[in-house]
């Protein structure tokens, strides 16, 4: 059974204080690791897909990296508007996504 564990569950940062979110996974036949952002009362918003170990992708202050067992979402100099829950998911050969429980990020001005 595919499993995704995200840590920490919650993270409080001061504006400008860089940090990383972790996503550990086990999956049968990885077909992609996905990062989503979810704001309260809204659906998950797609951020990145990573397909193979060593791959990196960036978008504004976010950078996602992938190894064979985990992925990191690095947040550089975060702003209050980066506050959200960040979800990690793995896709398998059966076209199924398995999500982690998310990391709730709060950035204080």
Partner 1 sequence: DTAVSQTPKYLVTQMGNDKSIKCEQNLGHDTMYWYKQDSKKFLKIMFSYNNKELIINETVPNRFSPKSPDKAHLNLHINSLELGDSAVYFCASSQTIRAGYYEQYFGPGTRLTVT
Interface positions with partner 1 (CB under 8 A): 29, 31-32, 34, 36, 41-46, 49, 51, 85, 87, 89, 91-99, 101-102
CA distance 7 to 104: 10
Question: Which of 44, 78 has the CB closer to partner 1?
Answer: 44
Question: Which of 77, 96 has the CB closer to partner 1?
Answer: 96
Per DSSP, the three-state class of 95 is coil
Task: For Cα atoms 91, 94, 98, give the angle at the middle one, nearest 5 degrees.
Answer: 35
Rounded to the nearest whole angstrom, what is the least distance from the CB of residue 109 to partner 1 in the complex?
25
Residue carrying structure tokens 């990062």: 35
Question: Which of 83, 92 has the CB closer to partner 1?
Answer: 92
Rounded to the nearest whole angstrom, what is the least distance from the CB of residue 77 to partner 1 in the complex?
27
Rounded to the nearest whole angstrom, what is the least distance from the CB of residue 52 to partner 1 in the complex?
11
CA distance 102 to 39: 12
CB atoms within 10 A of CB 62: 19
């Amino acid at each position: 059974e595919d499993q995704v564990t995200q840590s920490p569950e919650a993270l409080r940062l001061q504006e400008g204080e860089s940090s990383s979110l972790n996503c550990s996974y086990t999956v049968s036949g990885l077909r992609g690791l996905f990062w989503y952002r979810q704001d309260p009362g809204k659906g998950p918003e797609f951020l990145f897909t990573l397909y193979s170990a060593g791959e990196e992708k960036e978008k504004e202050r976010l950078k996602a990296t992938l190894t064979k067992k985990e992925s990191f979402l690095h947040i550089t100099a975060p702003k209050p508007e980066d506050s959200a829950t960040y979800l990690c998911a793995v896709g398998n050969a059966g076209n199924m996504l398995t999500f982690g429980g998310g990391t709730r990020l709060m950035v204080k001005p």
